[in-house]
């Protein structure tokens, strides 16, 4: 279908930087600038193509010149001006399309749609949290940087096809991330906005592989190695919700990277998940939550075991205390001073307390980074 753009205001609203970034992202090269016009060339099927871009948005004939650019691109790309215009207004944005299968009626219930939008938000937030710091589970407090990022992601107008949630993630100006001296490492120089969506994609790729391995092995142990790839329990839960809602849906995620900042990693343009994957994802989420450290956990109880090769170096202390409303034995490494106090507490059957990060390791528990060890008088 041929849809042309005739609205002068819409044409005038396209910034020169959007036009030039669009062309550069599609292989056009700027060859020169003359009289407030940028001249771009590209070889296509052995033929040299030219495209002239107006560089002064305040010029009186700017809208007309932009229309000429759209005419040329529509002819060269074999697409409508409307489709090209939609890409142009998103030149400095990354786009994610999350789509689900819908019934033949093309409709979903209002309550179901609300759950799908909420799960999409949770999925993007989970990826942003992992982009900030890798962790198996984000229980209550989410990184502030991830929350701030989510406030800048926009929900675009619906698109034709299945039920599609279109997310627009604005990027900072590409000039803001260029170094004046030397060449930066493109992998290290990604702005957080891009890193969040790269994590959304790479975590999805990793989850796909882990689902296959878990299905074959009958165990979700594989997911314990996926945290460094951005997978967390929140991500698995959110994706499972998308797959489970209603009678169960297949879900796809499609990525379109901003031409003003081309993606430097090899990421598939589309990831597909089956509704049958939901059960594996729920099990993986539970598995990751159980193994996620509980930060600032205060362990209170009695010393039941002491192990040390040399008292001067400290040793391992095991305390029986409450964990998840049940008495569990938790081990931690104590320095020489705390170990001596633990010996005395054990001899006199006194209550001790110590703070740290509670970690479940198989069927046992340990306290990492122990601090503030004390013995009740």
Domains of the chain (ranges, CATH numbers): 8-90 (3.30.920.30), 94-291 (no CATH), 294-375 (2.40.50)
Closest among 338, 337, 340, 377 to 354, alpha carbons compared: 338
Residue 23's Cα: distance from chain center in Å? 28
Establish how many alpha carbons lie within 13 A of residue 147's alpha carbon, considering only the half-sphere containing its beta carbon. Answer: 6
What pLDDT does 187 receive? Answer: 44
- CB-CB neighbours of 65 under 10 Å: 20
What pLDDT does 100 receive? Answer: 84
What pLDDT does 280 receive? Answer: 97
User: Which phi and psi angles does 104 have, rounded to 5°?
Assistant: -60, -25
Q: How far apart are CA 44 and CA 26, in angstroms?
A: 11
Both tokens of 328, joined, read: 């569990």
Report residues of the chain scoring pLDDT below 70.
Answer: 1-3, 103-106, 159-162, 174-189, 246-247, 264
What pLDDT does 183 receive? Answer: 41
Both tokens of 375, joined, read: 């013995």
- CB-CB neighbours of 86 under 10 Å: 15
Q: In the sheet where 251-256 sits, what is the strand order?
A: 154-155, 163-170, 93-100, 251-256, 270-273
pTM confidence score = 0.72
Quickly list H helices, the chain.
8-12, 16-25, 62-77, 81-89, 110-132, 144-150, 192-217, 233-244, 278-291, 336-347
Helix, coil or strand: residue 154: strand
pLDDT tens sequence across 110-159: 888 888 899 999 999 999 999 999 989 998 789 999 999 999 999 987 76
DSSP 8-state symbol, 16: H
Helix, coil or strand: residue 39: strand
What H or E segment, with its residue span, contains residue 302?
Answer: strand 294-307
Residues pairing with 33 in the sheet: 38
């Amino acid at each position: 279908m041929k849809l042309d753009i005739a609205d002068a205001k819409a044409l005038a609203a396209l910034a020169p930087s959007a036009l030039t970034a669009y062309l550069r992202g599609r292989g056009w090269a700027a060859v020169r600038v003359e009289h407030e016009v940028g001249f771009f060339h590209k070889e296509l099927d052995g033929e040299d193509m030219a495209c002239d871009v107006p560089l002064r948005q305040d010029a009186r004939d700017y809208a007309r010149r932009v229309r000429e650019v759209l005419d040329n691109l529509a002819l060269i790309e074999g697409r409508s001006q409307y489709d090209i215009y939609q890409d142009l207004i998103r030149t400095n944005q990354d786009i994610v399309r999350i789509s689900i299968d819908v019934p033949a009626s093309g409709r979903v219930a209002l309550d179901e749609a609300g759950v799908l939008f909420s799960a999409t938000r949770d999925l993007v937030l989970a990826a942003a949290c992992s982009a900030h710091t890798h962790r198996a589970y984000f229980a209550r407090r989410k990184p502030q940087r991830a929350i701030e990022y989510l406030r800048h992601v926009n929900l675009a107008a619906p698109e034709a096809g299945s039920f599609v949630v279109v997310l627009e993630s604005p990027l900072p100006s590409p000039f803001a991330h260029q170094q004046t001296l030397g060449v930066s490492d493109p992998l290290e120089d990604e702005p957080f906005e891009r890193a969040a969506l790269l994590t959304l994609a790479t975590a999805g790729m990793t989850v796909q592989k882990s689902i296959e391995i878990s299905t074959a092995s009958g165990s979700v142990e594989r997911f314990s190695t996926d945290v460094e790839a951005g997978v967390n329990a929140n991500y698995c839960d959110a994706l499972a919700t998308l797959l489970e809602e209603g009678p169960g849906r297949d879900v796809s995620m499609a990525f379109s990277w901003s031409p003003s900042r081309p993606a430097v990693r090899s990421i598939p343009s589309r990831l597909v998940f089956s509704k049958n994957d939901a059960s594996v994802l729920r099990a993986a989420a539970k598995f990751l939550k159980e193994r996620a450290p509980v930060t600032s956990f205060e362990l209170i109880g009695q010393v039941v075991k002491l192990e040390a090769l040399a008292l001067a170096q400290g040793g391992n202390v095991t305390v029986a205390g409450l964990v998840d409303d049940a008495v569990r034995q938790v081990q931690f490494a104590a320095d020489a001073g705390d170990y001596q106090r633990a010996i005395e507490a054990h001899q006199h059957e006194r209550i001790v307390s110590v703070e740290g990060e509670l970690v479940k390791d198989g069927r046992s528990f340990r306290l990492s980074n122990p601090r503030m060890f004390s013995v009740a008088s």
